[in-house]
Amino acid sequence: MLDVFAQTGAAGFEQFLLLGLVMGSLYALIALGYTMVYGIIELINFAHGDLFMLGGFLAWQLAWTLGVRTLDASSTGAVVGAVALMLVTAPLACAALNVATDRVIYRPLRSAPKLTVIVSAIGVSFVFMNVGSLWLGTSPVKFPDLVPDANLVTAAGVRFTWKDLMVVGVTVPTMVALTLFVKFTPLGKAMRATAQNPTAAKLMGINVDRVIAVTFAIGGSLAGVAAVVNGLYNKSVHYQMGFQNGLYAFTAAVLGGIGNIPGAVLGGLVIGVVGELSKAYLGTKWSEAVVFTILIVILVFRPSGLLGARTREKV
């Protein structure tokens, strides 16, 4: 996925753990979009990873159009401005696209058999991927390298760079804000109520379609945030990157207990750490096998995931 250690040479366990946590918080952001949508309409939104990809492309386009393409060639003000603009625009665009997809495609299928909706989500995924390939082609595209790689800590054997700080500094507050929103605001409570019992939610006077739209908006904007952070961190975007990241994030959501918000965060961190540790100690080619083996083992012993309490119909 990324290779910051090419420059650091040998690195210790703590380093891989840290890297795993950084990657994991990115997976967690994407996983939240899967888990929230599943929680509320029991749809595995296969297009979610590709939405993340389109968010990354949009961020790239912004930087490119603004001419902010490298750290050295741009003023600090321009870099900060460009990053800030990306962090506002990509989430808004992803939210709008996610809401529109729900409105146009999933909502008319709300009472259709689940398989119908899932197949249409797979269709949307391909459409997004095609849009991506038409937009920036089928080869990886270099993302503007706008965040310094300079080390921030002096502890022996551990590197923590501006880039790592950016990931943590964006993802952690985002997740905290989401948690507070869902836990304490009336709309957040309405979301939980709708997820638990849509009929009862209607009887309470909750506009369920609106709550679902808000859920798609939040899931989309988290994917947009993740897309910007991922682009800046991994310095590359590709039309198929939604597939791999989406698969990991989806795995994270299932691992944590699909439909469960803290579960998605936990699942993301576990997948990130396991992925990076297995890459470091077993080799890149083994990391996916290890990630999915652990997923299978956990699901055999805890079918509802690490934090999932209920058993609902799964697809």
Partner 1 sequence: MSAALLEVTDLEAGYGPINVLHKLSLRVDRGEIVAMIGANGAGKTTTLMCLSGVVKARGGKVVFDGRDLVAERVPAHNIVRLGLAQSPEGRKIFSRLTVLENLEMGAFTRADKDGVRADIEKSFVMFPILRERQHQAGGLLSGGQQQMLAIARALMARPKLLLLDEPSLGLAPQIVVQIFDVIKELNRQGMSVLLVEQNARMALKVAHRGYVLETGRITFTDTGETLLNDPRIRAAYLGE
The reply to whether 186 sits near partner 1 by the rule CB under 8 A is yes
**CA atoms of 219 and 44, how far apart (whole Å):** 12
Binder of partner 1 out of 1, 190, 225, 307 (CB under 8 A): 190
Site stretch for partner 1 (CB under 8 A), options 42-50, 125-133, 199-207, 287-295: 199-207
Closest CB 42 distance from partner 1, rounded Å:
16
Binder of partner 1 out of 201, 228, 252, 264 (CB under 8 A): 201
Cβ atoms < 10 Å from Cβ of 113: 9
Binder of partner 1 out of 103, 110, 192, 235 (CB under 8 A): 192
The reply to whether 193 sits near partner 1 by the rule CB under 8 A is yes
Closest CB 76 distance from partner 1, rounded Å:
46
Closest CA to 23 of 292, 295, 290, 268: 268
Residue where the block lists tokens 């918000």: 261
The reply to whether 139 sits near partner 1 by the rule CB under 8 A is no
The reply to whether 200 sits near partner 1 by the rule CB under 8 A is yes
Residues 184, 185, 190, 192: is their CA dihedral positive or negative? negative
DSSP label at 143?
A: P
Binder of partner 1 out of 10, 150, 155, 203 (CB under 8 A): 203
What H or E segment, with its residue span, contains residue 236?
strand 236-237
Phi first, then psi, for residue 72 (nearest 5°) are -70, -35
Binder of partner 1 out of 130, 138, 172, 202 (CB under 8 A): 202
Number of Cα atoms under 13 Å in the Cβ half of residue 169:
10
Binder of partner 1 out of 69, 103, 107, 189 (CB under 8 A): 189
Site stretch for partner 1 (CB under 8 A), options 73-81, 136-144, 197-205, 228-236: 197-205
The reply to whether 113 sits near partner 1 by the rule CB under 8 A is no
Closest CA to 169 of 236, 228, 91, 95: 228
Tokens at residue 78, please? Answer: 């321009």
Which chain residues interact with partner 1 by CB under 8 A? 186, 189-190, 192-193, 196-197, 199-208, 309-310
